[in-house]
């Protein structure tokens, strides 16, 4: 089957959700271009170099690589098409690092498309070890492209997880709920803690160990067994007092509190809070 027959038809990963099959081929990529000098592109370039991969970059989005086995676009989702057009013809394998964007966005590049999405956060200044132990969603429109994505993930110490194109939305939404949505939730906790006379920095110092241990319990035990507090005990009176405090200190957060309390009652197996 020639290139035209396989263009932009992602390899099926049926029965490969989870770690990839051990018989998946992992081609060696001796030289990789990283396009995008933002937080992820900078971290990706440093980590690949530390892993022994020769890297060109991080390059600006307007720069065109040369003499590379693969070009990896670490750019915002809306810029993938334009960046792909810029690198057209420069590499046989072209990938992006988006969790939600389909491989078809790489069509302007003309190469075999793949994607590598680290399940990790990058706030800037992270060392090469940031990738170690993280999950990494990979996809490819051919066995070689999927293998290239998996090769990069494994060189960085990540666990490669193959996903179908149709599963991208659910996968990325789960990642956002687990990571992105946690931040405004903790910001809400800071805001309510002000009612106890705590400055935001003080609230973070006091609450951070609680958050870390809760996450560790969830990872080790699952949500039901990790749940603690008044709702887990069925203590409606205490939840009512908490609600009154939120209404007094931060009434704009009351709808959020009620929604989370209702979901927590459901998780605890109790009747929803009315």
Q: Which pLDDT tens digits describe the chain residue by residue (274 residues)?
A: 333 333 444 555 443 444 454 445 566 788 999 999 999 999 999 999 999 999 999 999 999 999 999 999 999 999 999 999 999 999 999 999 999 999 999 999 999 999 999 999 999 888 899 999 999 999 999 999 999 999 999 999 999 999 999 999 999 999 999 999 999 999 999 999 999 999 999 999 999 999 999 999 999 999 999 999 999 999 999 999 999 999 999 999 999 999 999 999 999 995 444 4
Reading the block at residue 125, the tokens are 């200044």
pTM, full prediction: 0.84
Measured CA to CA, the distance from residue 166 to residue 174 in angstroms comes to 14
Element at 140 (helix H, strand E):
strand 135-140
- Note whether 144 and 93 are within 8 A (CB): yes
Instruction: Using the Cα atoms of residue 23, residue 173, residue 103 and residue 72 in order, give the sign of their dihedral.
Output: negative
Measured CA to CA, the distance from residue 181 to residue 20 in angstroms comes to 29
Rg (Cα) of the chain, in Å, rounded? 22
- What number of residues does the chain have? 274
């Amino acid at each position: 089957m020639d290139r035209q027959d396989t263009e932009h038809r992602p390899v099926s990963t049926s029965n490969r959700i989870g770690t990839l099959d051990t018989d998946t081929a992992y081609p060696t990529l001796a030289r990789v271009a990283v396009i995008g000098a933002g937080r992820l592109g900078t971290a990706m370039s440093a980590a690949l170099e530390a892993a022994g991969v020769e890297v060109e970059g991080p390059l600006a989005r307007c720069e065109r690589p040369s003499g590379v086995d693969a070009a990896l676009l670490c750019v915002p989702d809306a810029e993938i098409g334009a960046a792909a057009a810029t690198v057209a013809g420069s590499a046989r394998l072209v990938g992006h690092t988006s969790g939600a964007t389909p491989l078809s966005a790489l069509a302007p590049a003309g190469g075999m498309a793949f994607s590598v999405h680290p399940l990790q956060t990058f706030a800037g200044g992270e060392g090469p070890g940031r990738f170690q132990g993280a999950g990494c969603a990979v996809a490819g429109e051919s066995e070689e492209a999927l293998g290239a994505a998996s090769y990069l993930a494994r060189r960085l110490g990540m666990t490669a997880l193959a996903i179908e194109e149709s599963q991208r939305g659910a996968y990325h939404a789960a990642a956002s709920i687990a990571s992105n949505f946690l931040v405004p939730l903790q910001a809400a906790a800071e805001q309510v803690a002000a009612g106890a006379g705590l400055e935001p920095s003080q609230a973070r110092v006091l609450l951070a160990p609680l958050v870390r241990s809760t996450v560790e319990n969830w990872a080790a035990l699952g949500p039901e067994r990790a749940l603690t507090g008044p709702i887990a005990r069925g203590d409606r009176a205490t939840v009512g007092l908490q609600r009154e405090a939120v209404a007094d200190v931060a009434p704009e957060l009351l709808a959020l509190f009620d929604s989370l309390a209702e979901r927590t009652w459901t998780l605890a197996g109790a009747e929803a809070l009315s």
